[in-house]
Amino acid sequence: MRALWKTDRPAVEGTEFASGAHDVVIVGAGLTGLATALMLVQDGLDVAVLEAGEVANLTSGANTGKMSLLQGTRLSHLRAHHPASLVRAYVDANRDGMEWLRGFADAAGVTRSSRTAYTYAQTTAGRESIDRELAAAREAGLPVRRGHPDELAGLPFPVTAAVALDGQVAIDPDAVTTALAQAFVGAGGTLHTNVRVTGVSAFPRARVRTDQGEMGAGRIVLATGMPIADRGLYWAKVSGSRSLCIAFDVPGAVPDGLLLSADSPSRSLRSVTALDGPVGAGNRLIVGGNGYPVGRTDSEAAGFADLVAWTERFFPGSVETCRWAAQDYESHNGVPFVGAMPRGFGRIRLATGYAKWGLTNAPAAALRLTAEIRGDKPKSRPRWMTQLGTRLTMPGDIARGLGENAKVGGAAVAGWLSAERTAVPVPRPAEGEGVVAQRNGKPVGISTVEGETRAVSAVCPHLGGVLSWNDAECTWDCPLHASRFQADGTRIEGPALSDLERLPRARGRHPQGDDGAASAGSVPAGAGPQR
Give per-residue pLDDT as tens, 363-382.
999 999 999 999 999 999 99
CA pair distance 419, 445, nearest whole angstrom:
9
CA pair distance 487, 467, nearest whole angstrom:
11
Give per-residue pLDDT as tens, 123-150.
999 999 999 999 999 999 999 999 988 8
Q: Are 494 and 478 within 8 A, CB to CB?
A: yes
CA pair distance 242, 1, nearest whole angstrom:
14
Q: Are 25 and 228 within 8 A, CB to CB?
A: no
**Burial label, 177 (beta-carbon count in 10 A; 0-12, 13-18, 19+):** buried
pLDDT in 10s for each residue of the chain, 531 residues: 889 998 777 778 889 999 899 999 999 999 999 999 999 999 999 999 999 999 999 999 999 999 999 999 999 999 999 999 999 999 999 999 999 999 999 999 999 999 999 999 999 999 999 999 999 999 999 999 999 888 888 899 999 999 999 999 999 999 999 999 999 999 999 999 999 999 999 999 999 999 999 999 999 999 999 988 888 888 888 999 999 999 999 998 899 999 999 999 999 999 999 899 986 666 799 999 999 999 999 999 999 999 999 999 999 999 999 999 999 999 988 999 999 999 899 999 999 999 999 999 999 999 999 999 999 999 999 999 999 987 555 555 555 555 665 666 666 656 655 655 566 678 899 999 999 998 888 899 999 999 999 999 999 999 899 999 999 999 999 999 999 999 999 999 999 999 999 998 644 444 433 333 333 333 333 333 333
Classify residue 252 as left (phi > 0), alpha (psi -120 to 50) or beta.
beta
What CA dihedral angle connects 338, 339, 341 and 344, to 10 degrees?
160
CA pair distance 37, 42, nearest whole angstrom:
8
Q: How far apart are the first and last CA of the chain?
A: 18
CA pair distance 435, 178, nearest whole angstrom:
38
Q: Which residues lie across from 19 on neighbouring strands?
A: none
